[in-house]
């Protein structure tokens, strides 16, 4: 019965993934927690809470649900809905301070884009420990004495998740387009829906084949045109084989496929957690003089871009091309040694990232003197 | 594309905010704010919780009060600051990025008035309880608590009519402003439990909007 509820919630919320699903905030007890039991914190996106609870099964722990307005951890943290304020609030108002003797709270690492370890410590005395990206890795994390290995710290885009994105995308799009088609062009309704689902599924399932090509900075426009070209070819072939070339058929479906290919593929960078959503011209830059090798950046980077040279105590970016511009490293560096810079030499400083997160990212660049 | 559009909407939130809110409250908000701030006096120290774009704070400052507005959204504060500057009221209003549960640094009994427009319905239950307790501490004896907010209808029939309507409005407002709210249940009771006297409590006819004036006991009666 429990499982059925979990399954239904999964299906339903996958279909409507683009909408928020808030659930109750505050304190949840898992098992029979004691004064020294671990304290976890997560967002109040319903599905996330379900998954975390599942991962904690069999443990004795406290789970704090912060008010992220029903949005998942990464989006909420990047958009300014899961910030210091929400974390401070749930720590202070949930009553947890009276229940445990320690002051350590485990946050999902992706919250590092919005929540500052340093401020939480200053304002509440609680020490944040960055837990794994995915809830399912929590048991491993606990076995390793609360250390997340490189694998558990990296955002991935596995088949199942790609399928989820494809389905939610196709569902929302076919709902919208389907209503319009049903009213104005009832004849194309069925093939249109099939086309949308086929396109979405193919785009996301074949992602590994072209993902690295896209992330190497190639425009998504080129990519969209390529996909459209392939579909055009297929259309010509189909019409040639079935009843001989029909211009009306080709023009109609040429236009329809053009529209939907662009709607679907132009958003790839937003839909995939492995690509920067625009603003690729920004690069994370290390101020060598300020860096002291504290390695906070290495810990929070969800793309494993960093290494730290332990002898020289300096961070390096050997895998900078994987960066998704989440800003977590910049926000967490205790010495303000990191910032964004574009080719024109304009920068986005740590203070700006901490305040506004990813909101209006591209518009927050500013000129600097020549001290950088 | 969808995320792109959503991002755009989110980014421009403060400017659309007023529009979204006005839709949700169907225009009665401004009048309610005028009525509530008519209780503010010249020279009063006033705290505005969840000041947003500054609608209440500006009204109070225009009456000659010293206002402190707090909000957790830096973009709201940015917009509010610009409006205060344009209205030439910068000496009378101070805006701070701070949550309602972060008032511990405020001295006890240091405000004549605390007001809040549409902010309590954005709080969690725990937050609301915690905040009311803090407000009782920082208000001067006899000080006023002024609230205008969304309420949940108490009559079942009205509730049945309002819920679907509100659901629809809510999705619309979410798309416009990226905020969700939870209409308040039993706010007057909660305020009384926290140790305030209710001066007046007014629901509109559909019982969806509440205007509340409460007073911390003690001090001179007005
Ligand atoms: C609906 S707006 C109302 C703004 C303004 N009072 C008005 O009427 O125009 C609510 C505001 O409360 C703020 N808010 C929400 N939760 C808060 C919290 N915990 N602490 C402080 N402000 C909060 C939001 O950022 C938002 O600006
Ligand atoms: S960049 Fe900052 S966080 Fe990274 S190693 Fe250097 S000082 Fe530490
Ligand atoms: S290097 Fe890029 S991906 Fe890694 S934390 Fe910094 S901004 Fe995020």
Per DSSP, the residues of B93-147 read: EEEEE--TT--TTSPTT-EEEEEEES-GGGS-HHHHHHHHHHHHHHEEEEEEEEE
Q: Do A362 and B7 contact (CB within 8 A), yes or no?
A: no
Asked which of A116, A143, A170 is the last residue of a domain, the reply is A143
* pLDDT band (50, 70, 90) for residue A35: very high
Nearest CA in chain A to B130: A93
A278 chain-B contacts, CB cut-off 8 A: 4
CB A96 within 8 A of CB A40: no
Secondary structure (H, E, C), chain A:
CHHHHHHHHHHHHHHCCCCCCECCCEEEEECCCCCCCCEEEECCEHHHHHHHHHHHCCCCEEEEECCCCCCCHHHHHHHCCCCHHHHHHHHHHCCHHHCCCCCEEEEEHHHHHCCCHHHHHHHHCCEEEEECCCHHHHHHHHHCCCCCCCHHHCCCCCHHHHHHHHHHHHHHHHHHHHHHHHHHCHHHHHHHHHHHHHHHHHHHHCHHHHHHHHHCCCCHHHHHHHHHHHHHHHHHHHHHHHCCCCHHHHHHHHHHHHHHHHHHHHCHHHHCCCCCCCCCCCEEEECCCCCCCCCHHHHHCCCCCCEEECCCCEEECCCHHHCCCCCHHHHHCCCCCEEEECCCCCEECHHHHHHHCCCCHHHHCECCCCCC
Contact predicate A163/A207, CB 8 Å: no
Which residues neighbour A149 within 8 Å (Cβ) at sequence distance 6 or greater? A140
Mutate to test the interface with A, among B5, B73, B76, B127 (most CBs of A within 10 A): B127
Nearest by CB to A266, which of B1, B11, B99? B1
- The pLDDT of residue A142 is 95
Does A303 lie in the same domain as A232?
A: no
Instruction: Decide if B125 touches A, using CB distance below 8 A.
Output: yes
Q: In angstroms, what separates the C-alpha of A140 from chain B's closest C-alpha?
A: 32
Close Cβ partners of A202 (under 8 Å, ≥ 6 residues apart): none
- Measured CA to CA, the distance from residue B181 to residue B129 in angstroms comes to 17
Residue A335 in contact with ligand 2 by CB distance below 6 A:
yes
d(CA A35, CA A20): 34
* pLDDT over 60 at A123, yes or no: yes
pLDDT tens-digit series, residues A345-357? 888 999 999 998 8
Q: Which residues of B touch A92 (CB under 8 A)?
A: 101, 130
**Best of A306, A308, A315, A353 for a ligand 2 pocket test (most atoms within 8 Å of beta carbon):** A315
CA of B220, closest CA in chain A: separation in Å? Answer: 33
Burial group, residue A183, by CB count within 10 angstroms (0-12, 13-18, 19+)? exposed
- Give yes or no for residue A342 having a pLDDT over 70: yes
Mean pLDDT confidence for A64-81: 91
* Stretch 66-105 of chain B: residues touching chain A, C-beta under 8 Å: 72-75, 97-99, 101-102
Candidate from A130, A300, A324 with most ligand 3 atoms within 8 A of CB, to mutate: A324
Tell whether A333 is covered by a domain.
yes
Alpha-carbon span B118 to A114, nearest angstrom: 25
Q: CB–CB of A203/A264 below 8 Å? A: yes
Q: Are residues A113 and A166 in the same domain?
A: no
Q: Atom 2 (ligand 3): residue with closest C-alpha? A: A323
**8 Å CB contact between A248 and A309:** no
B3/A277 Cβ within 8 A = yes
Query: For position A320, which CATH number holds?
Result: 3.30.70.20
Q: Is the CB of B50 under 6 A from ligand 1?
A: yes
User: Complex ipTM, two decimals?
Assistant: 0.83
One domain for residues A291 and A233: no
pLDDT single digits (tens) A103-119: 999 999 999 999 999 99
Q: What is the pLDDT of residue A224?
A: 81
Asked if residue A292 belongs to a domain, the reply is yes
Pick A179 or A297 by higher pLDDT: A297
- Ligand 1 centroid to Cα of residue A264, in Å, is 35
Q: pLDDT digit of tens for each residue in chain B (222 aa)?
A: 344 444 445 445 666 666 666 666 666 788 899 999 999 999 999 999 999 889 999 999 999 999 999 999 998 899 899 999 999 999 999 999 999 999 999 999 999 999 999 899 889 999 999 999 999 999 999 999 999 988 776 666 666 666 666 666 666 656 555 555 666 778 999 999 999 999 999 988 777 788 999 999 987 554
Interface test with A, best of B2, B132, B179 (most A CBs within 10 A): B2
Looking at the structure of chain A, the number of domains it has is: 3
Give the separation between CA A179 and CA A186, rounded to whole angstroms.
10
Last residue of a domain, one of A271, A295, A311: A271
Q: Where are the beta strands (DSSP E) in chain B?
A: 45-49, 66-71, 93-97, 111-117, 139-150, 197-203, 209-215
Comparing CB atoms, the residue among B130, B171, B174 nearest residue A93 is: B130
- Going by alpha carbons, the residue nearest to atom 3 of ligand 3 is A323
Q: Does A245 have pLDDT greater than 90?
A: no
> What residues of chain B lie within 8 A of the CB of A22, using their CB?
180
Tell me the CA distances in angstroms from B142 to B46, B60, B197, one per residue in order: 14, 18, 10
Residue A137 has pLDDT above 90, yes or no: yes
Residues of B in contact with A80 (CB under 8 A): 73-75
CB pair distance less than 8 Å for B178 and A79: yes
On whether both A125 and A231 belong to a single domain, the answer is no
Q: Mark whether A122 and A33 lie in a shared domain.
A: yes
- Are residues A300 and A250 both part of a single domain? no
Residue B194 DSSP one-character state: T
Q: Count CA atoms within 13 Å of residue A49 on its CB side.
A: 25
Q: Which residue of A has its CA nearest to B2?
A: A267
C-alpha A320 – ligand 3 centre gap (Å): 8
Alpha-carbon gap, residue A15 to A82, rounded angstroms? 24
For residue A313 and ligand 2, the question of a CB distance below 6 A is answered with no
As a whole number of angstroms, the distance between CA A218 and CA A212 comes to: 10
pLDDT, tens digit, for every residue of A269-321? 656 666 665 677 789 999 999 999 889 999 999 999 999 988 889 999 999 98
Instruction: Note the pLDDT of residue B176.
Output: 54
pLDDT at A370 over 50: no
Residues of A in contact with B6 (CB under 8 A): 18
Q: How far is CA A273 from the centre of its chain?
A: 5
> In this complex, is the C-beta atom of B7 within 8 Å of any C-beta atom belonging to chain A?
yes
Q: How many residues does chain A have?
A: 372
- In this structure, are A300 and A259 located in the same domain? no
CATH code, domain with A8: 3.40.50.11600
- Asked whether residue A371 is domain-assigned, the answer is no
B73 in contact with ligand 1, CB cutoff 6 A: yes
Supply the range of the domain harboring residue A317. Answer: 283-360
Question: What is the chain A residue with the closest CA to B70?
Answer: A85
Shortest-distance atom of ligand 2 to CA A293: 5
Tell me the per-residue pLDDT of A50-62, one tens digit each, with 9 for 90 and over: 999 999 999 999 9
| CB-CB under 8 Å, B6 with A26 | no
Residue A47 covered by a domain: yes
Residue A302 and residue A264 share a domain: no
pLDDT at B7: 45
Residue among B3, B72, B101 whose CB faces A270 most closely: B3
Q: Are B3 and A267 in contact (CB under 8 A)?
A: yes
Going from N- to C-terminal start, the domains of chain B cover 3-215
Same domain, A9 and A134: yes
Quote the minimal CA–CA distance from A265 to chain B in Å.
8
**Distance in Å, alpha carbon of B131 to nearest chain A alpha carbon:** 9
pLDDT at A351: 92
A135/A132 Cα distance (integer angstroms): 7
Residues A76 and A122 in one domain: yes
Cβ neighbours of A81 in B, within 8 Å? 178
**pTM of the complete model:** 0.85
Position B1 scores a pLDDT of 31
CA A244 – CA A238 distance, rounded (Å): 9
**What superfamily does domain B3-215 belong to in CATH?**
Vaccinia Virus protein VP39 (3.40.50.150)
- Answer for the pair A259, A199: CB distance below 8 angstroms, yes or no: no
Q: Tell me whether residue A366 is in a domain.
A: no
pLDDT at A139: 96
Regarding the beta carbon of A323 and ligand 3, being less than 6 Å apart is answered yes
In the reported structure, the alpha carbon of residue A304 is separated from the centroid of ligand 3 by a whole-number distance in angstroms of 8
Question: For residue A86, what is the nearest residue in chain B, using CA coordinates?
Answer: B99
Question: Which residue among A271, A301, A316 closes a domain?
Answer: A271
- Same domain for A288 and A337, yes or no, is yes
């Amino acid at each position: 019965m429990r499982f059925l509820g979990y399954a239904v919630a999964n299906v339903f919320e996958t279909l409507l993934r683009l909408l928020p699903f808030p659930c109750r905030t505050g304190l949840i007890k898992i098992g029979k927690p004691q004064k020294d039991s671990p304290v976890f914190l997560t967002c109040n996106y319903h599905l996330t809470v379900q998954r975390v609870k599942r991962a904690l099964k069999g443990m004795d722990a406290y789970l704090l649900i912060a008010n992220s307005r029903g949005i998942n951890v990464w989006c909420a943290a990047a958009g300014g809905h899961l910030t210091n304020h929400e974390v401070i609030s749930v720590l202070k108002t949930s009553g947890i301070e009276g229940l445990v003797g320690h002051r350590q709270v485990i946050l999902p690492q992706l919250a590092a884009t919005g929540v500052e370890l340093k401020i939480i410590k200053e304002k509440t005395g609680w020490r944040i420990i960055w837990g794994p990206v995915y809830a399912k890795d929590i048991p491993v994390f606990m076995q390793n004495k609360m250390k997340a290995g490189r694998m558990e710290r990296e955002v991935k885009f596995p088949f199942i998740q790609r399928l989820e994105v494809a389905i939610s995308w196709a569902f929302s799009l076919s709902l919208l387009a389907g209503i319009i088609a049903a009213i104005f062009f009832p004849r194309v309704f069925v093939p249109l829906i099939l086309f949308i689902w086929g396109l979405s599924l193919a785009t996301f399932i074949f992602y590994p084949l072209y993902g690295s090509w896209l992330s190497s900075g190639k425009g998504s426009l080129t990519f969209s045109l390529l996909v459209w070209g392939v579909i055009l070819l297929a259309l010509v072939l189909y019409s040639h084989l079935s009843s001989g070339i029909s211009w009306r058929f080709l023009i109609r479906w040429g236009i329809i496929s053009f529209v939907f290919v662009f709607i679907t593929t132009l958003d790839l960078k937003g839909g995939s957690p492995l690509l920067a959503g625009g603003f690729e011209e920004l690069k994370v830059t290390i101020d060598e003089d300020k860096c002291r090798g504290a390695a906070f950046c290495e810990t929070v980077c969800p793309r494993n871009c960093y290494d730290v040279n332990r002898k020289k105590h300096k961070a390096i970016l050997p895998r900078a091309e994987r960066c998704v511009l989440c800003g977590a490293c910049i926000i967490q560096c205790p010495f303000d040694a990191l910032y964004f810079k574009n080719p024109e030499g304009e920068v986005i400083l740590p203070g700006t990232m901490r305040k506004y997160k990813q909101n209006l990212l591209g518009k927050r660049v500013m000129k600097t003197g020549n001290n950088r | 594309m969808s995320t792109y559009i959503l991002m755009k909407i989110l980014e421009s939130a403060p400017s659309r905010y007023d529009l979204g809110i006005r839709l949700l409250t169907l225009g009665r908000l401004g009048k309610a704010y005028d009525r509530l701030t008519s209780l503010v006096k010249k020279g009063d120290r006033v705290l505005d919780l969840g000041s947003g774009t500054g609608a209440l704070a500006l009204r109070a400052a225009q009456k000659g009060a010293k206002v402190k507005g707090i909000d957790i959204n830096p973009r709201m504060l940015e917009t509010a600051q610009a409006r205060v500057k344009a209205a030439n009221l910068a000496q009378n209003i101070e805006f701070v990025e701070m949550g309602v549960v972060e008032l511990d640094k405020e001295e006890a009994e240091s405000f004549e008035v605390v007001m809040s427009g549409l902010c309590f319905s954005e709080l969690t239950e725990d937050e609301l309880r915690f905040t009311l307790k803090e407000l009782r501490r920082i208000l001067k004896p006899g000080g006023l608590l002024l609230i205008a907010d969304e309420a949940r209808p108490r009559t079942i029939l009205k509730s049945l009519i309002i819920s679907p309507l509100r659901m629809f409005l809510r999705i619309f407002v979410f798309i416009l402003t990226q905020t969700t709210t939870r209409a308040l249940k039993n706010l007057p009771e909660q305020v009384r439990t926290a140790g305030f006297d209710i001066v007046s409590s007014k629901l509109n006819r559909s019982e969806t909007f509440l205007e509340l004036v409460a007073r911390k006991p003690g001090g001179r009666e007005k």
